Amino acid sequence: MRKTILLILLLAFSTIIGQNNKEEIRYTKVKDLFAPQATQPVLNINGSSGTIATISEELAANNTTFGVLDLFPAQGNPQNTNNLEGKLWKDNSEVLNYEGNFQVGARITANNITLKSNAGIGKVLVCTSTSGSAQWQAVGEAGSINDLLDGKSSTTTNNVYLGFGSGAGDNMTSNKKNTAVGINSLNSFNSGSGENTAFGYQALESLTSGSKNTAVGFQALKNTNGSENTAIGYQALMNCTGTGNVAIGYQAGMNASGNDQLFIHNGPSATPLIWGDFNAADVIINGNLEVTQGIISSNGSTIENSSDIRLKDVLGKYEKGLKEIEKLNTLKFRYKQDNPKKLPSNDDQFGFIAQEVQKIFPEAVKVDNDGYLSLNIHSIMIAMVNSIQELSKEKDDLSNLISELEKQNEILKKQNSQFENKVEKIESLLKQKNFVNASY
- Segment 158-175, tens digit of pLDDT: 888 888 888 888 877 776
For the chain, the farthest-separated pair of C-alpha atoms sits apart, in whole angstroms, at 190
Q: Which of 169-173, 375-379, 431-435 has the highest mean pLDDT?
A: 375-379
- Domain-ending residue, one of 101, 131, 162: 101
Choice among 54-63, 144-153, 162-171, 324-333 with the minimum mean pLDDT: 144-153
- Please tell me the predicted confidence (pLDDT) of residue 7: 47
In a domain, 240, yes or no: no
- The pLDDT tens digits for 188-237 are 988 767 899 999 999 999 998 889 999 999 999 999 999 999 999 999 99
What's the rounded Cα separation, in Å, for the pair 54 and 5?
A: 13
Mean pLDDT over residues 33-55, rounded? Answer: 70
What's the rounded Cα separation, in Å, for the pair 375 and 361?
A: 10
In a domain, 80, yes or no: yes
What is the chain's Cα-based Rg? 49
Choice among 26-30, 38-42, 296-300 with the minimum mean pLDDT: 26-30
Q: 401 lies in which domain range?
A: 321-408
In a domain, 81, yes or no: yes
User: How many domains, in total, are found in the chain?
Assistant: 2
What are the angstrom distances between the C-alpha of 275 and each of 109, 263, 284, 426, 429? 55, 5, 5, 92, 97
10 Å CB burial of residue 105 (0-12, 13-18, 19+) is exposed
In a domain, 431, yes or no: no
Q: Angle at CA 134, nearest 5°, toward 130 and 140?
A: 110
In a domain, 65, yes or no: yes
* pTM for the structure as a whole: 0.52
Q: Is the dihedral of CA 41, 46, 51, 53 positive or negative?
A: negative
In a domain, 44, yes or no: yes
In the three-class reduction of DSSP (H, G, I as helix; E, B as strand; rest coil), residue 134 is classed as strand
In a domain, 218, yes or no: no
Choice among 81-90, 159-168, 170-179, 357-366 with the minimum mean pLDDT: 170-179
> Is the predicted pLDDT of residue 112 greater than 80, yes or no?
no
Segment holding 161, helix H or strand E: strand 160-162
What's the rounded Cα separation, in Å, for the pair 34 and 37?
A: 9
- Domain-ending residue, one of 81, 101, 121: 101
Mean pLDDT over residues 379-398, rounded? Answer: 94
Q: Angle at CA 250, nearest 5°, toward 195 and 367?
A: 135
Q: Is the dihedral of CA 213, 219, 225, 229 positive or negative?
A: negative
CA dihedral 379, 385, 386, 390 (to 10 degrees): 160
- Domain-ending residue, one of 51, 84, 101: 101
pLDDT, mean over the chain: 80
10 Å CB burial of residue 84 (0-12, 13-18, 19+) is middle
In the three-class reduction of DSSP (H, G, I as helix; E, B as strand; rest coil), residue 80 is classed as coil
Taking alpha carbons only, the member of 233, 198, 199 closest to residue 212 is: 198
In a domain, 93, yes or no: yes
Segment holding 430, helix H or strand E: helix 378-432
- Please tell me the predicted confidence (pLDDT) of residue 291: 74
